[in-house]
Amino acid sequence: QSVLTQPPSASGTPGQRVTISCSGSSSNVGTYTVNWYRQLPGTAPKLLMYSTTHRPSGVPDRFSGSKSGTSASLAISGLQSEDEADYYCAAWDDSLNGVLFGGGTKLTVL
Amino acid sequence: QVQLVESGGGVVQPGGSLRLSCVASGFTFSNYGMQWVRQAPGKGLEWVAFLRYDGKSKYYADSMKGRLTISRDNSRMTVYLQMNTLKPDDTAVYYCAKDLAPIIVTPAAIGHWGQGTLVTVSS
């Protein structure tokens, strides 16, 4: 069971704005930055957001990250069909001395 | 461009051992921390291990602590994951991964992933 809690699923229609949450605790999200990864079926994950709010080059500005207290969020605006994928948050945890991944959120574009 | 190529996966009996290898290219290997992340069939991602760029510190997931050794050979641009006393629950695709930024002393964002190697633990 993941200590970082994500909703198992999310959905939206093309053009909509969708938010995926990642809830943790003071030993992880509350203290450290959060990274987000996207995984298309049958492929390796890819970095989508790092240090909570930074986009790697090539990631469009439709994607944004934020954090408040022990919860982080990934927002996708102008939803497109190609955004359909699994999304994972991750953060360092200083009580475990390791990295935690969220359980993942399957995003469906209706 | 950055490439990470894993090998060493396969079928192993419970209690057995495997050593995974990951050969890197396209970047200054000795400047980057390396990680292993696994994904059981149909499940989410699980972080496994990290090795600092200079090999001076290592971190392991609690679920596999005591059964893993991560190591690197910077001259061969290769990172290894020795896995012992394997259990059926260890069945997963194991991804080799490179830190996004150089000279980081704890696991950072993963900038590049390999394609993964499948480990199946079954009798």
Could you give the 3-state DSSP secondary structure of residue A83?
A: helix
Q: How far is B92 from chain A (nearest CA, A)?
A: 13
C-alpha torsion A88→A91→A96→A101, nearest 10: 0
State whether residue A51 sits within 8 Å of chain B by CB.
Answer: yes
User: Is 70 exceeded by the pLDDT of residue A1?
Assistant: no
Query: Cβ A97–B109 below 8 Å, yes or no?
Result: no
Section B86-102 average pLDDT? 97
A79 CA: distance to closest CA in chain B (Å): 23
Q: How far is B31 from chain A (nearest CA, A)?
A: 19
Higher pLDDT, B61 or A1: B61
* Residue B17: how many other CB atoms lie within 10 Å: 11
Q: What are phi and psi of B62, to 5 degrees?
A: -55, -35
CA distances from B44 to A30, A34, A45, A103, B91 (A): 22, 17, 11, 6, 13
Q: How confident is the model at residue A65 (pLDDT cuts 50, 70, 90)?
A: very high
A65 close to B (CB below 8 A) = no
pLDDT at A49 over 90: yes
Task: Name the band, by pLDDT with cuts 50, 70 and 90, for residue A2.
Answer: low
Residues of B with CB under 8 A from a CB of A: 35, 37, 44-47, 50, 59-62, 95, 100, 106-111, 113-116
Q: Which of A27, A75, A6, A36 is nearest to B109 (CA)?
A: A36
The residue count of chain A comes to 110
User: What's the average model confidence in pLDDT over B101-113?
Assistant: 92
- Could B62 and A90 be called an inter-chain contact, meaning their C-beta atoms sit closer than 8 Å? no
Cβ of A56 within 8 Å of Cβ of B45? The answer is no
Q: Which amino acid is at B17?
A: S
Tens of pLDDT, residue by residue over A67-79, are 999 999 999 999 9
Number of CB atoms found within 10 A of residue B37's CB? 29
What average pLDDT does this structure show over B15-33? Answer: 97
Q: How high is the mean pLDDT of chain B? A: 96
CB pairs under 8 A between A and B: 58
Which pLDDT tens digit goes with each residue over B37-79? 999 999 999 999 999 999 999 999 998 889 999 999 999 999 9
For residue B46, give the chain A residue with the closest CA.
Answer: A101
Q: CA A18 to CA A107: how far, in whole Å?
A: 9
What's the mean per-residue pLDDT of chain A?
A: 96
Residue A31 sits at the vertex; the CA angle it makes with A70 and A76, to the nearest 5 degrees, is 55
A68 touches chain B (CB under 8 A): no
Collapsed DSSP state (helix, strand, coil) of residue A81:
helix
Residue B105: pLDDT band with limits 50, 70, 90: confident
> How much is the pLDDT for B110?
97
> Which residue in the set B45, B62, B109 is minimally distant from A96, CB to CB?
B62
For range A52-79, the mean pLDDT? 97
CA angle, B114 then B116 then B120, to 5°: 165
Specify the pairing of strand A105-109 against strand A9-12.
Answer: parallel
Q: How far does the CA of residue A56 sit from the closest CA of chain B (Å)?
A: 9
> Cβ contact (<8 Å) for A92 and B106?
yes
Distance CA B108, CA B34 (A): 9
Chain B touched by A50 (CB under 8 Å)? yes
Q: What is the DSSP string of chain B?
A: --EEEEE--EEE-TT--EEEEEEEESS-GGGS-EEEEEE-TTS-EEEEEEE-TTSS-EEE-GGGTTSEEEEEETTTTEEEEEE-S--GGG-EEEEEEEESSSS-SS---EEEE---EEEEE--
Per-residue pLDDT at A17: 98
